[in-house]
Amino acid sequence: MNNDEMRCVITGLGMISAIGENVDECWKSAMASKSGIDHTKTVDTENCYSDYAAEVRGDKWDNIACTEKMDRVSKLCIKAVDEAMRDAKIEGFGGSERAGVIMGSCVGGVVSVEKYYTKEKSAELIPQMPISAIASQAAGYCGAGGAVMNVANACAAGTISISYAADLIRAGKADVVVAGGADSFSSVPFAGFTSLHALDANPCSPFNHLSGITLGEGAGALIVESYEHAVKRGAKIYCEVLGSGISSDAHHITAPRPDGEGQMNAIRWAIEGSGVSETDIDYVNAHGTGTAKNDEAEFLSLRTIFGGKNDHLSASSTKAMTGHCLGAAGAVEAVLAVKALTENTVPPTLGFSDDDLGLLAERAGSIDFCPNSPKKKELDTVMSNSFAFGGNNASIIFSKKTGSMKKPDKLPEICITGLGIVTPAGNGAQKYIESCADENAPGTADLCSSVGKDEYDELGLKMAFYRKLDRFSQLQAVSGMYALKDGNYTVNSDNATDIGIIVGTSEGSLSPVCDFEMLIAEKGNANGSAFKFPNTVYNAAGGYLSICSGIKGYNVTATNGAQSGLFSVGYGMNVIRLGRGKAVLATGTDENNEIIRGLYKDLGLAADTCVQPYSHNDKITLSDGSTSILLEDAETAEARGARIYARAKGFGTACRSVEFGKLTGSGEALDTAINNALADAGMSISDIDAVVGFADGHTVVDKIECDALRRVFGDKLAKLPVISVKKKLGEGRAASAALGAAHAALMLHGDIAEYGCTYLDDAEVHTGTVKSAALNNILAVAFGTGGSYSAVIISR
Amino acid sequence: MADSEIKAKVKELICSNLGVEPDVLDYDTELFGEDSIGLDSVDSLEIISFVDDEYGVDMTGVGKEHFLNIDSIAAYISEHKDN
């Protein structure tokens, strides 16, 4: 019983890794049991106990026009995207809003970070540093104009990207999405894993010697397409994308749960969501990193799920060939899993001696781990698993069969039932409401939020927990816990897997990455900090929030510029609509500290004196904070008697990719995002009573907002109040984007009775006051550098 | 170097680099395990790295009993460092 509307297929593949510069080369290497691991010569290995890596060697592949100034990670990504597009016989998307790019990464533009801190502090390198740049640049390359986002969930990012791509298509938000992941080998991950003693002194040996990982690098790209769209254009179809599961451990920031609970949740949800059973899975491309903690938990998970139910299961870890490609791992492994499926051949797990095979037999139960050599076998359905720092788990299923994906009967109504607000004006929703009484501009252009022991004590966070958190994670943990408290939502064993987290962030953990780079630049790669390294992954904040709240459901960190803080709300709505959870904490978090401010200064963007929206400036008031919005399925919220602030009615996003770090020329994508949000909500422009805008005083930003609103609202704009949360609190990027939605909810609920606003009629800007009693529907908009925009409609 | 100096330095490391608040950390406070201040294996790597850098004493693979508290770490350092 399959519903064609729910069918997603793979129509193109691209891959680059240590074992090949394209899919054919990689597959041939895998079939020849060839490993790409060798001694590295690209990073300093002095005094390091291991010098192995699986690198993309040579530079013949690096010849794609327009990528010259990009970081190595984006070049790897675009190489794989280019191959996948050609394979799918798509020349380009021509800016279509029905085409998206979702890319995973762990360390992002870390090669640019290294150059900046060790060679030349060139401002040109700065936009290449954050993970945000990757999908935006790939979207520019292939002309995608729809949802463009990076999934920053460390080693699970590649798998989550493909899962989310399929979800976007199943939700009707896209016809085709380029999904995958990319990461490059460099000093930061090398020194980081060295400091954790997580590298194998020899080439890694997954499910065997368990003495650590070998880092790899590369990219994988898959063209994920609706079945209908693929058939219509006569595309070659590799296989179906069936269900997927995404979970969080709520356990530890680097170590997986020894009992495998989170891993097994992800695997079970993938199987259930596909409408297949355990016995239908013929092959698992396992995470199999080669560390004892991961592989022992994974042996346990696989044996528990499949033992007694599946006597023909094959599994393998291809990381003994490709190395651990971090955020690209799930993507390159998905490509290998799809190749395995279509070639009816299981790729091997390398590294077993005759003696090792005896121990493997004991550990593996009835599962065939295909030691050393590939194996011909009829495959109908395969699974790929990825598990990550932060306690994130992801599992996805590819099949020659259609499975039995169920379309939700009806779209649930989504309520906002809790708000957690951390701003430079104070912490907690109540403090924010009180602060709104004073709308005066801040006296400084350097605004920082502050969280500390008072908040930890109030929220019941213990020192053994919060001492580990970097400031970005602190802001996120506090705002997330405030949102749960404000929503009177108690996470317990009955609902822990029903609630998820979507962290939206522009720069994420960029400052811990820079801080770590400065440390190893000074002390050498052998002297990184094991304490600091885990906080360099962007999803650490979401992982910590899962640990302190007990949330075990969906958990994704989404990043693509400042708009990520509003995109997270739309992402969360999609999670609930597709039945992946009943509640989601959707957040926006970014920090302002010495490092971030230094980077904005070097870009010439950080003002020295306060800049106000619509002031025709070329700088901004840099700020920070975190806003968490508890979204909840209306039925669940009403059943528990929750206070309902407002309803999240519609979401739209679009991208017109321009050079990353710039915005000029991308404004029409904002029109598309707004129109998509209106369509999603079933509304027209006449339903919108006010807008929470994104103007921050920078002429380019402000003009894009004004021009787009003028095009979309026409004459109505003259009387449409435009509210700004940045007037008082500066440019907090993702924090401001999410705060815009929270502010709208607080006005609709009457907590903020009136607020200053701007009327953008003609070339003039007039100020006024808007009373909340007159408002029923508020549109919140946000921009992201590189040309991505989000729009959300919040209703009474 | 007197034991008291070593203890003060180890405490300083645990407070400034591992985020532990000084007022909950005495020299006999249990560091790892259920009833402790909650250090874990990642923290032990930082302590080992610090002890190696500062005193030239390698504590890699050393038994748990030497990581009970600051007293036992300092005792191990005193016993093994070159004077």
Q: Is A275 left (phi over 0), alpha (psi -120 to 50) or beta?
A: left
Using the Cβ of A406 and the Cβ atoms of chain B, whether some distance falls under 8 Å is answered with no
Is A698 designated active site? no
Is A287 designated active site? yes
- Is A539 inside any structural domain? no
* Catalytic residue from among A8, A26, A239, A324: A324
Using the Cβ of B38 and the Cβ atoms of chain A, whether some distance falls under 8 Å is answered with yes
- Is A153 inside any structural domain? yes
Structure confidence at residue A448 (pLDDT): 97
CA of A531 vs chain B CAs: smallest distance (Å)? 6
Q: What is the 3-state secondary structure (H, E, C) of A426-483?
A: EECHHHHHHHCCCCCCCCCCECCCCCCHHHHHHCCCCHHHHCCCCHHHHHHHHHHHHH
Residue B1 has pLDDT above 80, yes or no: no
Which of B17, B36, B42 is the mutation pick for testing A, counting most A CBs within 10 A?
Answer: B42
Residue with tokens 């990381």: A319
Using the Cβ of A60 and the Cβ atoms of chain B, whether some distance falls under 8 Å is answered with no
* Catalytic residue from among A209, A287, A698, A743: A287
Confidence of residue B83 (pLDDT cuts 50, 70, 90): low
> Are A338 and A345 within 8 A, CB to CB?
no
Residues A117 and A258 in one domain: yes
Q: What residue in B sits closest to A464 (Cα-Cα)?
A: B38
- Where do the domains of chain B lie? 3-80
End-of-domain residue from the set A340, A366, A399:
A399
Using the Cβ of B15 and the Cβ atoms of chain A, whether some distance falls under 8 Å is answered with no
Q: What is the pLDDT of residues B17-54, one digit of tens each?
A: 999 999 999 999 999 988 899 999 999 999 999 999 99
Residues A352 and A431 in one domain: no
CATH number of domain containing A591: 3.40.47.10
Using the Cβ of A523 and the Cβ atoms of chain B, whether some distance falls under 8 Å is answered with no
> Cβ–Cβ of A531/B41 closer than 8 Å?
no
Partners of A783 in the β-ladder = A789
Using the Cβ of B75 and the Cβ atoms of chain A, whether some distance falls under 8 Å is answered with no
Residues of chain A whose pLDDT is less than 70? 1-2, 762-763
Size of interface A-B (CB pairs under 8 A): 43
Structure confidence at residue A463 (pLDDT): 93
- Is A206 inside any structural domain? yes
Residues A423 and A331 in one domain: no
Burial of A168 (0-12, 13-18, 19+ CB in 10 A): buried
> Cβ–Cβ of A467/B42 closer than 8 Å?
no
Select from A309, A374, A307, A316 the least CA-distant residue to A345: A374
Residues A337 and A450 in one domain: no
Is A325 designated active site? no
Structure confidence at residue A481 (pLDDT): 98
Residues A433 and A336 in one domain: no
> Cβ–Cβ of B21/A463 closer than 8 Å?
yes
- Is A520 inside any structural domain? no
Q: What are the angstrom distances between the C-alpha of A415 and each of A254, A485, A549, A673?
A: 33, 16, 20, 21
- Is A514 inside any structural domain? no
For the domain covering B3-80, report its CATH number: 1.10.1200.10
* Catalytic residue from among A155, A239, A415, A436: A155
Residue numbers in A near B53 (CB within 8 A): 527
Residues A62 and A30 in one domain: yes
Using the Cβ of B13 and the Cβ atoms of chain A, whether some distance falls under 8 Å is answered with no
Q: Which residues contact A766 (CB under 8 A, 6 or more apart)?
A: A758, A759
**Integer-rounded Cα radius of gyration of chain A:** 24
Select from A13, A12, A10, A8 the least CA-distant residue to A336: A13
CA of A46 vs chain B CAs: smallest distance (Å)? 16
CA of A512 vs chain B CAs: smallest distance (Å)? 14
Residues A392 and A426 in one domain: no
Structure confidence at residue A273 (pLDDT): 96
Q: Which residues contact A119 (CB under 8 A, 6 or more apart)?
A: none
Q: Global pTM? A: 0.97
Structure confidence at residue A1 (pLDDT): 40
Structure confidence at residue A722 (pLDDT): 97
Q: What residue in B sits closest to A254 (Cα-Cα)?
A: B42
> Cβ–Cβ of B18/A531 closer than 8 Å?
yes
Q: Which residues contact A450 (CB under 8 A, 6 or more apart)?
A: A424, A427
Residue with tokens 């109030």: A458
Residues A245 and A168 in one domain: yes
Residues A680 and A713 in one domain: yes
- Reported as type and span, the H/E element at residue B36 is none
End-of-domain residue from the set A337, A369, A399:
A399
Report the share of chain A in percent with pLDDT over 70: 99
Partners of A416 in the β-ladder = A631, A646
Q: Which DSSP letter does residue A687 get?
A: G
Q: Does ipTM exceed 0.90?
A: yes
Torsion angles phi and psi, residue A9, rounded to 5: -130, 160
- Is A533 inside any structural domain? no
The whole-angstrom distance between residue A252's C-alpha and the CA centroid of its chain comes to: 19
Residue numbers in A near B40 (CB within 8 A): 252
Number of domains composing chain A = 2
CA of A467 vs chain B CAs: smallest distance (Å)? 4
Q: Is A508 left (phi over 0), alpha (psi -120 to 50) or beta?
A: left
Range of the domain at A436: 414-506+560-795
- Is A211 inside any structural domain? yes
Q: How far is residue A709's CA from residue A675's CA, in Å, rounded to a whole number?
A: 11
> Of how many residues is chain A composed?
796
- Is A111 inside any structural domain? yes
> Cβ–Cβ of A530/B17 closer than 8 Å?
no
End-of-domain residue from the set A366, A399, A432:
A399
Select from A627, A626, A634, A640 the least CA-distant residue to A573: A634
Select from A402, A155, A160, A137 the least CA-distant residue to A276: A402
Burial of A604 (0-12, 13-18, 19+ CB in 10 A): exposed
